[in-house]
């Protein structure tokens, strides 16, 4: 788990390529389904870890057939999937609270292995996505307070919003909060100050002479 997501690793049939790994993401507070992230068919996931900040999920994939272990990683927001390292030996147990200090030990060895993956995380040549990455831009920027310290950005990916702190330099380049699946293309979402108002469940009014489209449910999300 992370502060934001409950992660479930699954293996599903995938077209004509055999099986493929999915990560199913659920809201850690409500356990509602959010979305899924794809891996690839050759991922033999054994041990799973999540970085302390909750930004990445990492897995050790030992292959008894080859005698090698792959270290693979997913960015939970951009959905990038990378194979960062391969080494001889079969990892029995591993953990990675920080990308600079990933630990693991192999069967028959009396010492810990240490990997620094931080220097490789932005290497795009290691990307191993087996699917087309979905575009994710911004269609609207909304100031959320006066004086303005936060802005809400409505994404081109339907139902996704990001909150950015524009007053603190240390938050430059990453959102302080990201939420997915809040609304769909038939809903109306309005933001004011620190609240997000959602009109949903569109139907037809039965109390007028002519049928009139109306929203039957009002949701309020506090940021």
114 in the same domain as 28: yes
Full pLDDT tens readout for the chain, 223 residues? 888 888 988 887 766 656 778 888 888 888 888 888 888 777 788 888 888 677 888 888 888 888 888 888 888 877 888 888 888 888 888 888 788 888 888 888 888 888 888 877 777 666 765 444 455 678 788 887 767 788 888 887 777 888 888 887 766 666 777 777 777 777 888 888 778 888 888 777 777 777 777 887 787 776 5
Number of domains making up the chain: 2
CA distances (Å), origin 180, targets 8, 11, 57, 94 = 17, 23, 18, 30
Q: Which of 94, 126, 158 is the last residue of a domain?
A: 126
Tell me the CATH number at 88.
2.120.10.30
Q: What is the pLDDT of residue 129?
A: 58
Widest CA span of the chain, in angstroms? Answer: 81
Q: What is the pLDDT of residue 63?
A: 87
Cα–Cα distance measured from residue 47 to residue 91, given in angstroms and rounded to the nearest whole number: 8
Residue 122's domain comprises: 5-126
Cα–Cα distance measured from residue 131 to residue 59, given in angstroms and rounded to the nearest whole number: 19
30 in the same domain as 83: yes
Instruction: Give the distance from CA 35 to its chain's centroid.
Output: 8
Asked if residue 133 belongs to a domain, the reply is no
pTM (2 d.p.)? 0.56
Asked if residue 132 belongs to a domain, the reply is no
197 in the same domain as 87: no
150 in the same domain as 112: no
100 in the same domain as 191: no
144 in the same domain as 111: no
Q: What is the pLDDT of residue 133?
A: 46
90 in the same domain as 26: yes
Cα–Cα distance measured from residue 161 to residue 34, given in angstroms and rounded to the nearest whole number: 13
């Amino acid at each position: 788990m992370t502060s934001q997501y409950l992660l479930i690793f699954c293996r599903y049939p995938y077209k004509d390529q055999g099986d493929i790994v999915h990560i199913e993401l659920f809201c850690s507070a409500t356990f509602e389904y959010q979305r899924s992230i794809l891996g690839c068919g050759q991922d033999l996931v054994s041990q799973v870890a999540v970085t302390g900040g909750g930004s990445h999920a990492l897995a050790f994939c030992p292959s008894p057939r080859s005698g090698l272990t792959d270290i693979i990683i997913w960015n939970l927001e951009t959905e990038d999937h990378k194979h960062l390292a391969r080494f001889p030996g079969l990892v029995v147990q591993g953990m990675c609270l920080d990308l600079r200090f990933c630990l693991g030990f192999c069967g028959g060895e009396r010492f810990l292995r240490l990997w620094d993956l931080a220097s490789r995380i932005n290497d795009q040549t290691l990307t191993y996505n087996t699917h087309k990455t979905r575009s994710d831009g911004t269609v609207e920027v909304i100031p959320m307070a006066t004086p303005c310290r936060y802005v809400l950005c409505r994404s081109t990916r339907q139902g996704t919003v990001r909150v950015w702190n524009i007053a603190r330099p240390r938050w430059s380049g990453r959102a302080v909060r990201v939420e997915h699946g809040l609304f769909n293309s038939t809903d109306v979402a309005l933001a004011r100050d620190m609240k997000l108002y959602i009109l949903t469940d569109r139907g037809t009014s039965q109390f007028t002479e002519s049928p009139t489209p109306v929203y039957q449910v009002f949701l309020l999300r506090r940021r």
